[in-house]
Amino acid sequence: MIKTWNVACAMVLGMSTSLYADEKPRADREQAYSDAMFVEKAGICGLEEVALGKIAQTNAERADVKQFAARMVEDHAKCNEKLMAAAKTAGVETPVAVPQERKKEIERLQALRGAEFDRAYLSKQLKGHEKAVALFTTASEKAQNAELKSFAAQTLPTLKEHYEMVKKLATAAGAGGE
């Protein structure tokens, strides 16, 4: 299972961290919450975080961006394993790949280097972690399965920390929005 997960991560190098392909108002997202939706979105996000972090370790210009990317790979790989375990208890399958419609984003980010990559990567991280915090907050309050609820609540402080880290990096890189 871990080998399959690692293969899936390798397949999705360069995906964006957008959690919602079609943005809906927050109230609509919250009303539409389900444990299966949480697992799907959290799983895709985790795959993207690991993939983007690996790309950033090569393509980024700034050392602090590369260090942040290494942290993303480490933290989100662990998170992915915990999500798989929690999802299993809930009887929900985790995603094994990022959806096909995001392949253009892989190519776009893989083609960037240096300061241009830093700005694009940090902008994606900023938006992605903001959405992840919202998603995990909702799951920590609304999850029907106790394992998923606990997983979301335990993961939330780390995601908030990541968000604060990337806000500082993005400000320094001029990557407030992409």
Asked if the structure places residue 178 within a domain, the reply is no
Answer with the residue of higher pLDDT: 99 or 9.
Answer: 99
Token code pair at residue 32:
């539409």
Q: Who has greater pLDDT, 57 or 3?
A: 57
Angstrom distance (rounded) from CA 38 to CA 138: 9
**Residue 39 located in a structural domain:** yes
CATH code for the domain in which residue 104 is found: 1.20.1260.10
51 in a structural domain: yes
Structural domain count of the chain: 1
Domain around 80: 2-173
Lowest mean pLDDT, pick from 51-55, 72-76, 149-153, 169-173: 169-173
71 lies in some domain: yes
pLDDT exceeds 90 at position 165: yes
Distance CA 170, CA 73 (A): 18
Residue 102 counted as domain residue: yes
Per residue in 11-55, pLDDT (tens digit) is: 333 333 444 444 444 544 445 799 999 999 999 999 989 989 999
- Residue 54: inside a domain: yes
3-state secondary structure the chain: CHHHHHHHHHHCCCCCCCCCCCCCCHHHHHHCCCHHHHHHHHHHHHHHHHHHHHHHHHHECCHHHHHHHHHHHHHHHHHHHHHHHHHHHHCCCCCCCCCHHHHHHHHHHHHCCHHHHHHHHHHHHHHHHHHHHHHHHHHHHHCCCHHHHHHHHHHHHHHHHHHHHHHHHHHHHCCCCC
Instruction: Provide the pLDDT confidence category of residue 138 given band limits of 50, 70 and 90.
Output: very high
Q: Is residue 163 assigned to a domain?
A: yes
Joined together, the tokens standing for residue 83 give: 């999500």
pTM of the predicted protein model: 0.79
pLDDT averaged over the chain?
83
> Does 38 fall in a domain?
yes
pLDDT band (50, 70, 90) for residue 75: very high
The mean pLDDT of 53-69, rounded to a whole number, is 95
